[in-house]
């Protein structure tokens, strides 16, 4: 039976119909393009705003000029304050600050490991032997950037009178100069990169002019390390069991469903869980008292290990699901080939399934870690310190993390805090981008191999 | 419902049909040669000789198709046995046509002035016996009828008998030189007809092989002192 | 005589008794009344076959008639499917491989398998061949074993200078021969082949058929094939399986390949191999 010719449009009618179909397609294409443009514009705006706040002119007034301090020590124009050695910087401090302040600083954190500057050895030893030893007893001594920061903070004493954004600084440079000359005649107009090397290596400080992200970055890295150490083996192990060994019965399906659901639970709930279990119930463990380590100020469970384990629980379901998928993606033919040679299930899994699933597992793990890096709410609940200046000494130390630091700085009123918050955001973005890029490179490299 | 190898099986059918046509031509040639002998019809004998060409052409046609089918279709089981028996039949029928031609050539060559009626009768009888044999064997082939095929060797019995008695008959013509001159070639005619009978039996053997998968020489009653 | 037989499965007399040269015939594998179930569905019914030592036996039949299921029952690969169940006996050198005390891992070393789509490991050629031996605890010289296996698989000459290259860098036919080599390396007695050439081009196919002939001297081979010509070319014995009305596969006829392809005993067989089925 042949279809009659007139069932389809012919000739000119056909041409019109086809043109209409093309037009509709083009309309959709532009709609999708518009969606893409919207997303791009939104992201670019975010990025530009952050960059805008990270660089710009600053009207700065120093109590003591760094140049003078350097000249006093006999150096020439080529040496800056930041180039001085720790010993020289400590000497500068000694000249300026009172002994009381010096003693307080030294009790928080010593300047040298081998000698005391402001305190007598006997008194210090007495303090350390007491019931509640000061933090300086167990912490490592301050390093050069830390001491430099102190010198700037307490000797140079810069006051930031006004900051300008990058675009203002670049585009309306003359107006800025005029304004500064008019309103702040005493002050110096300096172009400042809030995001600088110094910013990265300086510890946290109350003064935004000198504060840095080192404390927060190290805190984040410590937490993420513990997160990884916990969730990777546990997650991958669970995934292997679920995919290779678990039989398809009601119980296992229930477990699977629950794991899938847990991946979607809001992160603050994990924070509450972490608070209840790791901080409170397991305080003995997480404070380090169990091991005889720890700050000793109060048997306090709000430590890095508690935060790390909490985030570990958070990303555990994600790692399990992702690893399961990676394992499932290994073709069945590979398993059959292995088993048909008389290998046991574990031998086949170990030699063929896991190596082939590994790229997928690693990619997913890296992405999960990137997520953990950016988590704020659970860390707040678990008890990130809002203000610590010492680097974390170990897993049982008090902690802060980069997102927490950003959150804290953005909630302060002064303009300068916005600048360093923006700089810190850039640091966080770079860390996340690096992790994501690593994941993508890994994935591409292994995809090409197979 | 279309079978998966319809084209192939239609090719097989075509080959069979051509073979049946060829068998008809060969059988008719034998009959007409005997007629020509009986009536001393030289013209008819000439036609028989000429028409052998047609049989040979048919042979080539079928053989070509046979080769093609073997190469392209790789037949197995019953189809393979069919192809095998077709090839045997092809050769046998071509030889049958040659026997008819031999008889016709003898008719053309002799001066049939004095003929011995008894010998003619025998030959007529033989001709009347072998033609149905060929027909029966081909019928058994077309119908795939084993029972029918098994009848053919029995029909060969009288033909052999008549052939054997031919020597005596011809010897009896000895006193008359002229008759003897005519009678001796009649021995060859008798032999040719006996051969046709054997060829019919061969066809029947092939039919049996086709149907059973076993090849059996059909026992000929009264084995001859000399071979055919 | 080709005609209807009462529905009794025919076992070839050629499979039992003495070989052509009078030496006693041994059977590498024998199934007695074997049925395979997937859950409650019976996929294969009452299969009774004998596989002669050092011979090639082919299993042919239409799609879905259970040939692969039967094959996989011989090395207990069906065990991997949770709902599968085997009834009846499968004897490997006299021992039922489905007995409680038998470890499927051990069975699979002695009964190897080559799959339809070549599936070499994404490792080097050397590792492909050596891995199976290693996990089974091979104690001898591995280099020698790899060379020997590759030679037996007719692949050595082509790859001996690139043993560290990935197995996946070879052509399809070479990959399949690599799979055969790694199966040989664990020194099985029987090699099962599930449509080993259906994914390969004609030349590669013929080379593998030739290889199978060479392997006959050392191993017993059971091959499932869709391609009847292949069964005709390459096997000594052939079993024809077909589905009955319950979609369960069973053996219709089993005999010497030459016999089955010139004068099959069952009309059902003849209809299938001559293509006279609807």
Q: In C, which residues are within 8 Å of B9 by CB distance? A: 275-276
What pLDDT is attached to residue A402? 93
According to the model, what pLDDT value does residue C116 have?
94
**How many angstroms away from the CA of C122 is the closest CA of chain A?**
7
pLDDT tens readout for residues B43-102: 999 999 999 999 999 999 999 999 999 988 889 999 999 999 999 999 999 999 999 999
Residue-wise pLDDT for B169-208, tens only, equals 888 888 888 888 888 899 999 999 999 999 999 999 999 9
Give the contacts of A179 (CB within 8 A, at least 6 positions apart): none
Q: Are A340 and C186 an interchain contact pair (Cβ–Cβ within 8 Å)?
A: no
A450 pLDDT more than 60? no
What is the per-residue pLDDT for B2? 55
Whether residue C2 and residue B78 make contact (CB cut-off 8 A), yes or no, is: yes
What's the rounded Cα separation, in Å, for the pair A411 and C221?
78
Regarding predicted confidence, which is higher, B123 or A136? Answer: B123
* Cβ contact B75–C274 (<8 Å): yes
Residue of A nearest to C129 (CA): A341
Q: Kindly list the partner chains of chain B, i.e. chains with 3 or more CB atom pairs below 8 Å.
A: C
Q: Distance (Å, rounded) from C-alpha A90 to C-alpha B186?
A: 146
Closest partner CB to A339 (pick from C108, C122, C183)? C108
Record: contact A344-C105, CB cut-off 8 A: yes
- Taking contacts as CB-CB distances below 8 angstroms, the residues of chain A near C168 are 450
What is the distance between the alpha carbons of residues C213 and C206, in angstroms, rounded to a whole number? 11
Q: What is the reported pLDDT for C17?
A: 45
Cβ atoms of C173 and C204 within 8 Å: the answer is: yes
The answer to whether A406 and A428 have CB atoms below 8 angstroms apart is yes
pLDDT higher than 50, residue C15: no
For residue B208, the Cα-to-chain-centroid distance in whole angstroms is 17
Among C75, C122, C135, the residue with its CB nearest the CB of A340 is C75
Partner-chain contact C109 A341, CB within 8 Å: yes
Tokens of A265: 């639970």
Q: A243-248: long-range contacts at Cβ-Cβ below 8 A with a sequence spacing of 24 or more?
A: A243/A324, A243/A327, A243/A328, A244/A327, A244/A345, A244/A349, A244/A353, A245/A345, A247/C82, A248/C82
A abuts C (3+ Cβ pairs < 8 Å): yes
Helices (H), C15-66: none
Q: In C, which residues are within 8 Å of A333 by CB distance?
A: 115, 117, 119
Strands lying side by side in the sheet with C249-256: C95-96, C84-92, C27-38, C41-52, C249-256, C237-243, C56-60, C220-224, C190-194, C111-114
Mean local confidence (pLDDT), B126-155: 95
pLDDT tens-place string over residues A78-125: 888 888 888 888 888 888 888 888 888 888 888 888 888 888 888 888
Give the closest residue to A55 by CA, choosing from A166, A200, A196, A161.
A166
The pLDDT tens digits for A164-175 are 888 888 888 888
Give the tokens for residue B56: 């040979």
Q: With contacts defined as CB-CB under 8 Å, which chain C residues touch B81?
A: 262-263
Q: Is B158 exposed, middle or buried (0-12, 13-18, 19+ CB in 10 A)?
A: middle
Measured between CB atoms, does B108 come within 8 Å of chain C? no
The larger pLDDT score, comparing residue C147 to residue B221, is at C147
Report pLDDT for C174. Answer: 95
Mutate to test the interface with C, among B2, B8, B69, B78 (most CBs of C within 10 A): B78
**How far from chain centre, in Å, is Cα A24?**
46
Min Cα distance C204 → chain A (Å) is: 21
Chain A and chain C share a number of CB contacts under 8 A equal to 64
Record the pTM.
Answer: 0.80
C19-33, C104-118, C164-178: the lowest-pLDDT one: C19-33
Chain B touched by C92 (CB under 8 Å): no
Give the confidence band of A127 by pLDDT, cuts at 50, 70, 90: confident
Per-residue pLDDT tens over the stretch B4-47: 788 888 899 999 999 999 999 999 999 999 999 999 899 999 99
Tell if the CB–CB gap between B4 and C275 is shorter than 8 Å.
yes
Interior angle at CA A215, CA A211 and CA A219, nearest 5: 150
Are the Cβ atoms of B213 and C232 closer than 8 angstroms? Answer: no
**pLDDT over threshold 60, residue C3:** no
Contact C232 B76 (CB under 8 A): yes
Chain C hits for B80, Cβ within 8 Å: 261-262
Is C278 close to B3, i.e. CB distance below 8 A? yes
pLDDT at A159 (0 to 100): 86
Is the pLDDT at A252 greater than 80? The verdict is yes
Residues 223..252 of C with a Cβ closer than 8 Å to B: which? 228-229, 232
Q: Given a cut of 70, is residue C21 above it in pLDDT?
A: no
With 0-12 CB in 10 A as exposed, 13-18 as middle and 19+ as buried, what is A413? exposed
A55-59, A299-303, C143-147, C184-188: which has the minimum mean pLDDT? A299-303
Strand partners, A158: A62
Give chain C positions within 8 Å (CB) of A343: 105, 132, 135-136
Touching subunits for chain C (3+ Cβ pairs under 8 A): A, B
Are B74 and C229 within 8 A, CB to CB? yes
Residue C7: the pLDDT is 37
- Asked if the ipTM is above 0.85, the reply is yes
State yes or no: pLDDT of C108 exceeds 60. yes
- A325-347: pLDDT as tens digits: 999 999 999 999 999 999 999 99
Contact A56, A169 (CB under 8 A): yes
Q: B1 to chain C, minimum CA–CA distance in Å?
A: 6
> Which residues in chain C have their CB less than 8 angstroms from residue B76's CB?
228, 232, 261-262, 273-274
Query: What average pLDDT does range A356-384 have in this prediction?
Result: 91
How far does B150 lie from chain C, in Å, by closest CA? 15
Interface of A with C in 282-341 (CB under 8 A): 331, 333-334, 336-341
- A247: pLDDT strictly greater than 60: yes
Q: What is the pLDDT of residue C1?
A: 42
Among candidates C80, C121, C182 on the partner chain, residue whose Cβ is nearest the Cβ of A334? C121
pLDDT digits (tens, 9 = 90+) for C260-277: 998 899 999 999 998 887
Rounded to an integer, what distance in angstroms lies between the CA atom of residue A203 and that of residue A420?
Answer: 13
Split at pLDDT 50, 70, 90, the class of A296 is low
Closest by CA position to C235, among listed C201, C259, C251: C259
Quick: pLDDT tens for C121-131. Answer: 999 999 999 99
Q: Across residues C33-47, what is the average pLDDT?
A: 94
* CA nearest to A436, candidates A370, A376, A375, A372: A370
What's the confidence (pLDDT) of residue A115? 85
Task: Name the interface residues of C facing A (CB cutoff 8 Å).
Answer: 75, 77, 80, 82, 105-106, 108-110, 112-113, 115, 117, 119-122, 131-132, 135-136, 168, 179, 182-183, 186
What is the Cα–Cα distance from B145 to B148, expressed in whole angstroms? 5
Chains touching A (3+ CB pairs < 8 Å): C
Nearest residue on chain A to C135, judged by CA atoms? Answer: A343
| Of A287, A256, A450, nearest in space to A360 by CA | A450
Residue C61 contacts residue C20 (beta carbons within 8 Å): no
Dihedral sign from CA coordinates of A46, A47, A48, A52: positive
Asked whether the beta carbons of residue A340 and residue C108 sit closer than 8 angstroms, the reply is yes
CB distance from C155 to chain B under 8 Å?
A: no
Contact C87, C32 (CB under 8 A): no
Nearest CA among A433, A372, A367, A357 for reference residue A225:
A372
Q: How far apart are CA B37 and CA B116, in angstroms?
A: 12
pLDDT at B224 over 70: no
């Amino acid at each position: 039976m042949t279809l009659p010719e007139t069932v389809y449009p012919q000739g000119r009618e056909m041409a019109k119909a086809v043109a209409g179909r093309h037009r509709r397609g083009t309309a959709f294409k532009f709609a999708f393009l518009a969606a893409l443009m919207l997303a791009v514009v939104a992201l670019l705006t975010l990025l530009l705003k952050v960059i805008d706040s990270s660089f710009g002119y600053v009207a700065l007034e120093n109590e003591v000029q760094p140049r003078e301090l350097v000249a006093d020590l006999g150096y020439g124009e080529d040496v800056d304050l930041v180039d001085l050695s720790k010993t020289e910087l400590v000497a500068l401090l000694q000249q300026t600050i009172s002994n009381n302040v010096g003693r307080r600083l030294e009790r928080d954190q010593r300047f040298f490991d081998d000698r005391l500057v402001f305190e007598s050895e006997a008194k210090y030893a007495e303090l350390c032997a007491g019931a509640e030893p000061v933090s300086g007893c167990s912490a490592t001594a301050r390093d050069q950037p830390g001491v430099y920061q102190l010198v700037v903070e307490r000797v140079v004493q810069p006051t930031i009178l006004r900051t300008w954004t990058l675009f203002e600084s670049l585009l309306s440079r003359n107006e800025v100069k005029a304004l500064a000359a008019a309103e702040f005649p005493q002050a110096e107009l300096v172009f400042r990169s809030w995001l600088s090397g110094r910013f990265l290596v300086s510890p946290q400080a109350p003064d935004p002019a000198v504060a840095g992200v080192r404390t927060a970055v190290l805190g984040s890295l410590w937490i993420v390390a513990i997160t990884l150490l916990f969730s990777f083996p546990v997650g991958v192990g669970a995934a292997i069991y679920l995919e290779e060994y678990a039989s398809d019965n009601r119980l296992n399906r229930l477990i699977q469903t629950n794991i899938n659901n847990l991946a979607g639970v809001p992160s603050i709930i994990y924070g509450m869980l972490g608070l209840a279990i790791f901080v409170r119930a397991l305080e003995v463990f997480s404070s380090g008292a169990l091991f005889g380590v720890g700050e000793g100020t109060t048997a306090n469970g709000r430590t890095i290990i508690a935060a790390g384990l909490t985030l570990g629980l958070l990303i555990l379901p994600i790692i399990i699901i992702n690893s399961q998928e990676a394992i499932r993606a290994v073709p069945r033919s590979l398993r059959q080939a292995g088993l048909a040679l008389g290998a046991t299930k574990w031998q086949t899994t170990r030699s063929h399934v896991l190596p082939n699933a590994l790229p997928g597992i690693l990619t997913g793990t890296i992405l999960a870690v990137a997520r953990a890096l950016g988590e704020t709410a659970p860390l707040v609940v678990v008890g990130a310190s809002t203000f610590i200046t010492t680097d974390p000494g170990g897993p049982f130390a008090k902690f802060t993390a980069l997102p927490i630091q950003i959150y804290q700085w953005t909630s302060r009123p002064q303009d300068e805090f916005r600048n360093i918050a923006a700089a810190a955001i850039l640091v966080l973005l770079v860390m996340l981008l690096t992790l994501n890029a690593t994941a993508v490179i890994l994935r591409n490299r292994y995809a090409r191999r197979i | 419902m279309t079978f998966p190898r319809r084209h192939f099986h239609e090719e097989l059918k075509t080959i069979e049909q051509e073979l049946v046509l060829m068998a008809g031509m060969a059988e008719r040639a034998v009959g007409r040669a005997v007629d020509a002998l009986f009536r001393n019809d030289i013209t008819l004998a000439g036609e028989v000789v000429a028409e052998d060409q047609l049989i040979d052409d048919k042979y080539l046609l079928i053989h070509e198709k046979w080769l093609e089918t073997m190469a392209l279709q790789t037949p197995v089981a019953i189809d393979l046995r069919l192809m095998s028996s077709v090839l045997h039949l092809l050769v046998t029928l071509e030889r049958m046509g040659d026997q008819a031609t031999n008889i016709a050539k003898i008719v053309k060559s002799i001066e049939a002035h004095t003929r011995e009626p008894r010998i003619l009768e025998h030959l007529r009888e033989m001709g009347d016996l072998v033609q149905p044999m060929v027909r029966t064997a081909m019928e058994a082939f077309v119908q795939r009828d084993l029972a029918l095929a098994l009848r053919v060797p029995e029909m060969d019995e009288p033909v052999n008998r008549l052939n054997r008695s031919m020597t005596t008959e011809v010897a009896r013509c000895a006193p008359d030189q002229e008759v003897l001159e005519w009678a001796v070639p009649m021995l060859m005619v008798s032999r040719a007809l006996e051969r046709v009978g054997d060829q019919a039996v061969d066809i029947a053997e092939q039919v049996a092989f086709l149907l059973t998968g076993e090849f059996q020489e059909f026992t000929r009653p009264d084995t001859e002192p000399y071979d055919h | 005589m080709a005609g209807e037989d009462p529905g009794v499965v025919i076992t070839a007399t050629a499979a039992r008794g003495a070989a052509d040269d009078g030496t006693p015939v041994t059977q590498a594998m024998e199934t007695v009344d074997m049925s395979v179930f997937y859950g409650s569905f019976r996929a294969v019914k009452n299969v009774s076959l004998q596989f002669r030592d050092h011979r090639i036996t082919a299993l042919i039949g239409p799609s879905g008639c259970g040939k692969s299921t039967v094959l996989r029952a011989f090395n207990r690969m069906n065990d991997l499917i949770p709902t599968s169940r085997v009834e009846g006996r499968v004897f490997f050198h006299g021992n039922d491989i489905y007995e409680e005390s038998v470890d499927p891992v051990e069975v699979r070393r002695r009964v190897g398998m080559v799959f339809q789509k070549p599936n070499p490991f994404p490792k080097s050629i050397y590792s492909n061949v050596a891995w199976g031996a290693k996990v089974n605890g091979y104690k001898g010289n591995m280099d020698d074993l790899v060379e020997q296996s590759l030679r037996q698989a007719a692949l050595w000459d082509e790859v001996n200078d690139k043993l560290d290259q990935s197995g996946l860098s070879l052509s399809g036919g070479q990959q399949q021969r690599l799979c055969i080599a790694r199966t040989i390396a664990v020194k099985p007695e029987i090699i099962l082949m599930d449509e080993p050439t259906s994914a390969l081009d004609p030349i590669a196919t013929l080379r593998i058929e030739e290889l199978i002939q060479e392997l006959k001297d050392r191993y017993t081979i059971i091959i499932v094939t869709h391609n009847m010509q292949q069964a005709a070319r390459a096997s000594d014995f052939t079993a024809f399986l077909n589905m009955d009305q319950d979609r369960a596969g069973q053996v219709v006829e089993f005999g010497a390949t030459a016999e089955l392809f010139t004068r099959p005993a069952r009309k059902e067989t003849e209809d299938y191999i001559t293509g006279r089925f609807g």
